Amino acid sequence: MFSKQTLFNSFSQSKFFPQDRSAQSWIVIFGFLLLVVTCYFGGAASLLRVVFPTTSLLVAIFLYLRHPILYIGFTWWTWFLTPLLTRLVDYRVGWDPTRQMLIAPYLVVFVTVATLLKHLPHAIPQGGLPFILGVIGVSYGGLVGMIFNQPVPVIRGFLDWLSPIIFAFHLFMNWRDYPSYRQHFQRVFIWCVLITGAYGVYQFIAAPEWDKFWLTESKMFTSAGNPVAFGIRVWSTLHSPGPFGTVMQTGLLLLFTSTGSLIFPASAVGYLSFLLSQVRTSWGGWLLGIILIFSSVKTKTQLRLITIILVMAMCVVPLVTIEPISKVVTTRLESFSNLERDSSFKDRSETYDRNLNLALTTVLGNGLGNIWKVNEKTGQIEVIVIDSGILDMFFTLGWFGAIPYITGLVLMLVSVSRYTEGRFDSFVSAARAISISSCAQLIIYSGMLSVAGMIMWGFLAMAMAAHKYYQHQGMKM
């Protein structure tokens, strides 16, 4: 007869063994994908506007509890692919001005509120002060927003600002699992570069009907190009060229820390679509990232990076010389030498000249949700675009919210800049380069929000988690 202990061990291994958890998690993920495909092709595409966000949240909760590593990957892919699915649904059943499907990534991220509540009492002693300061700054902006602005825009702004912070806090507090998280980050972004890069090239050449429909309805012709083949500024599966440029910049920098057979095909389509996005801010961020990585690794790794860059150049340059790709890329590159005549540069300069003093004198702030206004001619609600993260912080959070928010970022940047683990862990070097270059872009881009904010805060958190992990390993040794 089996003893009680034997029966208990048998039950534990069958129910909680990691392989079983992984199998269960993948079954849930594939079931979720099957549901989405069935709804879309089974004549119930309109239901996805409710079903997709709801089931995304349920899957996220399950993965968070049962398979935290897969939860991280699921979160990233939700950010990468939800805009494309939204466009497909709109094309099939009609334009939805509320864009309600785009709430799915935020719902998935907000599962990590559980991590915040769990670790909040002892977060500061463990090094979580920067995240707490960020939460304080955003919470202040939310309170001011509820006083002065409409509830729905305030909630939308709250999701945009807070999601990156709580997700990053979750990554940092799980520093003991850093090696697994690092491996998963690399795997996710390699596939991201390959898939979104390939779709981006296809988007530029073929101009799919659903993308043309979205561009026509959203009227984003000035920032996303024209709804014709070879006329689109590539945004791939994301919702506009800016976020796509940020994601691709991140993925391409991470490729330098990865190995495998997918590196070079991913690089070919990744760099090509990255250039076709025509996002000069991200181009500059990529170059800054390369410099930071190169300056923080050993000579042996530097030689490897040079070799990889040369091989990648040999793959990409011939593709860029093909017309009309060559004309698009060359024209955009030439604009760097004529910035004084560039309309985008002029607009940003005028924005700073006109709004800097106003932003710095907004002591209380306008609160979250302040970027929405009603067009007096059309009566439609429109978004006020502020091409500066710094201005956006002071306009939205005021001094009382911006000071703790910026202090949290500065503390993280100072800490990450001092880490030496990048000498033997190239991922730490890449994470630091990605986060610093993302912060540098705040001057001309609100990169602390949405998926860009997920990258900026997330990779700062991963660098901090790596440092804490190696410190702990050193103590054990």
User: What DSSP designation does 384 have?
Assistant: P
Contact (CB, 8 A) for 190 and 251: yes
Q: What is the mean pLDDT of residues 82-92?
A: 96
Distance CA 376, CA 174 (A): 49
pLDDT of residue 336: 66
Q: What is the mean pLDDT of residues 151-169?
A: 93
Entry pTM: 0.89
pLDDT of residue 382: 46
Q: Tens digit of pLDDT for each residue in 382-437?
A: 445 566 788 889 889 999 999 999 999 999 999 999 998 988 898 999 999 999 99
Contact (CB, 8 A) for 477 and 432: no
State the pLDDT confidence band at 94, using cuts at 50, 70 and 90.
very high
pLDDT of residue 351: 62
- Whether 11 has a pLDDT exceeding 70, the answer reads no
- Whether 293 has a pLDDT exceeding 60, the answer reads yes
State the pLDDT confidence band at 3, using cuts at 50, 70 and 90.
very low
Distance CA 407, CA 131 (A): 10
In this structure, of 80-94, 205-219, 296-310, 369-383, the range with the lowest mean pLDDT score is 369-383
Distance CA 32, CA 23 (A): 14
- Whether 272 has a pLDDT exceeding 80, the answer reads yes
Place of tokens 């970022």: 409
pLDDT > 70 in the chain, percent: 87
Dihedral, CA of residue 366, residue 79, residue 270 and residue 276, to nearest 10: -50
State the pLDDT confidence band at 52, using cuts at 50, 70 and 90.
very high
Contact (CB, 8 A) for 367 and 396: yes
Three-state SS for 382?
strand
- What separation in angstroms does the CA of 467 have from each of 300, 426, 459, 474? 22, 13, 12, 11
Contact (CB, 8 A) for 343 and 380: no
